Amino acid sequence: MVRTFNTAGPCTSAFHYMVPPEQRLPDLRPRIDQMGYFAVHATQPAGVTTALLALARALTAEGRYAALHFTAETAKVTKDDFGAAEVHILDAIQNAAHQDLPRELWPPEWPESAPGRRIYNGLSAWATACPRPLVLVFDEIDALLEESMVSVLSQLRAGYHRRPRQFPWSIVLCGLRDVRDCKVSSGGSEPRLGSTSPFNIKVESLRLGDFSEEALRALYAQHTAESGQAFTDDALARSWALTAGQPWLVNALAREIVRNMAVPPTEVITAEHVETAKERIILARQTHLDSLVARLMEPRVKRVIEPLLAGEAPPDNPYDDDLRYTRDLGLIAPDFPVRIANPIYREVIARVLAGHADPAIVTDPRSFVRPDGRFDLDRMLSEFAAFWTEHGDVLTSRMPYHEVAPQLVLMAYLQRVVNGGGYIDREYGVSRGRIDLLVRWPYTTADGKRAWQREALELKVWADGKPAPLAKGLAQLDGYLDRLSLDTGVLVVFDRREAAAAIDLRTRRETATTPAGRTVTVLRA
């Protein structure tokens, strides 16, 4: 049977294309051999369950350890009832052991214990009876809340000094966040376990990263080897550029092309297929993307994402809790400079936040297509100016990300008129106070050849206490146009000063000359 690209749950090598797990976590086995207690955290879904489950099974098969992967997620419903959480966890361990371990390695009947001692006594009894050292992988550990988290971690710490004869040899705690960042209270100001964590015997915390470009190419090559369907070099490069190696996105793009778009195996997969798949995934708002979107309204996330969208400097202190949290969610890249993790997330975030303006936009996208098939940018600017004059003040007051509200309204309008015919690439000029937009519009030339129209827009805001942005904006637009090899573009300046004229008086179009001598359009709004 031909394997598939998996986007739901752990991968199994017999059914799914997958990157070998130990390639993704090469440092795990040495730490297990050294009796380490440590944490692994990863963005979700990044394939960490696949990697840890495969590692546990491999360790058991080799005969040295009794290694077991299980999930603590079912204990989430217990909230602050730590005794009930312990029962859920012990049930999860027993069920997983009966599925994945030989009978002689199964845990004994759990001893009767008082709440707050059940994990300690149960694991102690199992380690004492088991003929091999125990290696336990607690997946979804951050599903535990409040007293349940403290109870479980405290019991693991209490048993640490009794290993390996009377307590597990090695324990791996896996979750979306490092254990020090997990909430111990569901209300108030989001306190954390912090440096005095009851699991402070952990040696270190490891983070599962995204795929490398080589891993992406190797994954797609598995499909080519089994089906005969090749990817062009441009398709591979475009997949990497759009995903930056985020594992779910890498698999989702390929799955969309192969399964849902049903590109025939005899047809080579091109960069255009990849672009189409990207649009379909974004519009479908699959579960993974929806789960990320739900985080955008969290105050901690907003404090990082909002300045990024506005082109302002976000927090850059690696010890900033909001930054760490947003990075662990996978919304921003794992390294510096601080930026949205990949172009698909940039697109999803902008579309979702701009969606608050959608009900007011009733224009027909077909009216922006010229008779020759090209996109009518001039008409778009004129009609947006009229729309902004009528609706701008009301819409910006409703936007959840107030600091970037005008830019989101324009992006919503542009997305509506371009939708279905072309593409919008977004760049946020971090610390440069601007957003760059590139409209890419396919059309057919008079001689029947396919071509691409490209239109560049730069968005800036004039805020109180800031100098007039026109001169700097024109110079920045020059740099953007140089990079794109374009002769002209559009600078949009939103005036958000208290002293700004009324919206109908300040909204107008004019032309200007950039420092490099280009004639460009300026839309003041």
Question: If you write DSSP's letter for every residue of 440-505 in order, what string do you get?
Answer: EEEEE-TTS-EEEEEEEEEEEEE-TTS--SHHHHHHHHHHHHHHHT-S--EEEEEE--TTPPPHHH
pLDDT at 198 over 60: no
Contact 181, 325 (CB under 8 A): yes
Residue 26 is classified by DSSP as T
Amino acid at 172: V
Contact 32, 137 (CB under 8 A): no
Pair type for strands 134-139 and 450-462: unpaired
Q: Is it true that the peptide bond before 337 is cis, omega within 30 degrees of 0?
A: yes
The CATH-assigned architecture of domain 21-208 is 3-Layer(aba) Sandwich (3.40)
> b vs e for 382-394, b when ≥16 Cβ sit within 10 Å of the residue's Cβ?
ebbbebbbebbee
pLDDT at 181 over 80: no
**CA nearest to 457, candidates 495, 407, 383, 392:** 407
Sheet with strand 450-462: strands edge to edge: 423-429, 434-444, 450-462, 490-495, 519-524, 508-513
Angle 447-448-454 from CA coordinates, rounded to 5°: 95
> Please, which residues have CB within 8 angstroms of residue 447's CB and are 6 or more apart in sequence?
none
159-168 mean pLDDT: 94
pLDDT band at 188 (very low <50, low <70, confident <90, very high): very low
pLDDT tens digits, one per residue of 276-297: 999 999 988 777 788 778 889 9
pLDDT at 196 over 80: no
318-339 mean pLDDT: 84
pLDDT at 167 over 90: yes
pLDDT band at 409 (very low <50, low <70, confident <90, very high): very high
> Does the 213-284 domain belong in CATH 1.10.8.60?
yes
Region of poorest pLDDT, from 130-139, 151-160, 179-188, 240-249: 179-188
pLDDT of residue 431: 65
pTM beyond 0.75: yes
pLDDT at 185 over 60: no
pLDDT of residue 356: 85
Contact 198, 154 (CB under 8 A): yes
What sections of 178-246 are H helices per DSSP?
213-227, 233-243
Largest CA distance in the chain: 83
What is the C-alpha separation between 322 and 340, in angstroms, rounded? 14
pLDDT over 90 for what percent of the chain?
A: 70
List, by residue range, all CATH 3.40.50.300 domains of the chain.
21-208
334-343 mean pLDDT: 89
pLDDT tens digits, one per residue of 227-242: 999 999 999 999 999 9
pLDDT of residue 195: 40
pLDDT over 70 for what percent of the chain?
A: 91
List, by residue range, all CATH 1.10.8.60 domains of the chain.
213-284
pLDDT of residue 205: 63
Contact 461, 469 (CB under 8 A): yes
Angle 15-16-18 from CA coordinates, rounded to 5°: 140
Residue 103 structure tokens: 């009978």
3-class SS at 74? helix
Q: Is it true that the peptide bond before 467 is cis, omega within 30 degrees of 0?
A: no
Region of poorest pLDDT, from 237-251, 306-320, 324-338, 376-390: 306-320
Contact 19, 153 (CB under 8 A): no
